[in-house]
Amino acid sequence: RRLLGTAGAAGAAGLVAGGAAGAFGAEAVRDAPAALAGVGSATLPFHGTHQAGIAEPAQAHGHLVAFDLAPGADRKAAAALLRRWSATAAELAAGEAPKGDDTGIALDAGPSSLTVTFGFGRSFFDRTGLTAKRPAALEPLPDFTADALDRKRSDGDLWVQIGADDSLVAFHALRLLQKQAAGTARVRWQMNGFNRSPGATARPLTGRNLMGQMDGTNNPKPSDPDFASRVFVPDRDGDWMAGGSYAVVRRIRMLLDSWDHLSLERQEKVIGRRKSDGAPLSGGTETTPVDLTKIEKDGSLAIAGDAHIRVAAPESNRGAAMLRRAFSYHDGFLDDGAPDAGLLFVAWQADPLKGFVPVQRKLDRGDGLSRFLRHEASGLYAVPGGCAPGEYVGQRLLE
């Protein structure tokens, strides 16, 4: 659904504009209505069975933000907020000017693949008198030894994920939603992330993380027969979460100074894939299925016993799988000079107890990568299914 590889079109549009400026003068060009081309024109519909921002490729810019309800804000106030937020998100995703107050931040840009995804944290249900409707899947995540969690940057009553291929479009959405929350909810924490821009590579490629690896190769794909059952909550007994998903959010700092000291060979062994093209060390290309049983001539395992892709694979975890849809982050440098950078890891699954939890338990017990990571913040959110025009996200829970 997303337009990819549009750099050529954008470049061509630039050339045409340049030529026209010569003939008619800059003013005429600025006033002439021009169709949006390339990255800006791509739209991802807000309405649908599932919320947007889950199955689509992650955009170049992301904001993750959690809100806490204001004292006294009840279920009705939360419902009104979700109604306002949904209406605005639908307008912005369609490239329409938002009704009501606008800031003008994205006036001249197209929707740029904007998605806005809404979720509820565990605490939301007590605050709104809906404890009886809280899904069992929102049980707090267990503690892991690699955790160094900042509780102030974790959890929250409401969670919003914003993604767009233009940073002003993404910030515009963030700012509007924050303003609309006034009086009902306050920002608890907010994080900014990024990915490669569409068109930056000669052909669409799996994105790289800040360790330089291709990241996302062995994700469940929408074309897989079991994609929906792994990622989305089934429609059972009128469950208000039907068509929804559970998002595990982890701010994972990478210990990049230590990582960058490893030789390329060591780095590749830690993951189990080649850095250059993402091919598994058992052979083939990026998309060749991993052979966890392959033995090298010297008798060693081609994919080491503690390689990240062995320890995390569904085969090692009774089929547990999740859709990883992350953003990288960089918030400057710490006092010791180390980058405050890593992954805003967002994992989507139908049930966190059959996705993130068992896999992270296993990674925590000793995968080669964990030594280079610190989990600094954490959240688990119930992300309801999508809504139809005229409805709002979470309506089945809140009305």
Tokens of 60: 């170049």
**Minimum CB distance to ligand HEM, residue 317 (Å):** 8
Build a one-symbol-per-residue string for 152-191: x at contacts with ligand HEM by CB under 6 A, - elsewhere: ----------------------------------------
| Active site annotation includes 157 | no
Residue of 342, 352, 385, 394 that binds ligand HEM (CB under 6 A): 342
Name the one range near ligand HEM by CB under 6 A: 16-24, 78-86, 133-141, 205-213: 205-213
Span interacting with ligand HEM, options 107-115, 186-194, 213-221, 391-399, rule CB under 6 A: 213-221
Query: Contact region for ligand HEM (CB under 6 A) — 7-15, 56-64, 157-165, 211-219?
Result: 211-219
Measured from the CB atom, the residue of 37 and 363 that comes closer to ligand HEM is 363
Q: Which position among 123, 197, 201, 217 is part of the footprint of ligand HEM (CB under 6 A)? A: 217
The residue (of 215 and 306) whose beta carbon lies closer to ligand HEM is 215
Contact flag: residue 256 with ligand HEM (CB under 6 A): no
Which range in 124-132, 207-215, 232-240, 377-385 contacts ligand HEM by CB under 6 A?
Answer: 207-215
Binding to ligand HEM, residues 365-384 (CB under 6 A): 373
Q: Which residue in 215, 306, 351, 367 is the catalytic one? A: 215
Nearest approach, Cβ of residue 115 and ligand HEM (Å) = 21
Q: Is 209 in the site for ligand HEM (CB under 6 A)?
A: yes
Of 232, 240, 356, 381, the residue at the interface with ligand HEM (CB under 6 A) is 356
The residue within the footprint of ligand HEM, chosen from 91, 166, 215, 306 (CB under 6 A), is 215
Q: How many residues are listed for the chain in this entry?
A: 399
Applying CB under 6 A, which of residues 42, 109, 247, 359 lies at the interface with ligand HEM? 359
Site for ligand HEM in 234-253 (CB under 6 A): 252
Any contact of residue 216 with ligand HEM (CB under 6 A)? yes
From CA 289, how far away is CA 313, in angstroms rounded? Answer: 11
Q: Which of 156, 170, 89 is nearest to 392 (CA)?
A: 89
Please give the backbone phi and psi of residue 177, each rounded to the nearest 5 degrees, phi first.
-65, -40
Q: Which residues of the chain form contacts with ligand HEM (CB under 6 A)?
A: 209, 211, 213-218, 252, 254, 271, 273, 290, 308-309, 312-314, 324, 342-343, 345, 356, 359-360, 363, 373
Query: Any idea which residues carry the catalytic annotation?
Result: 215
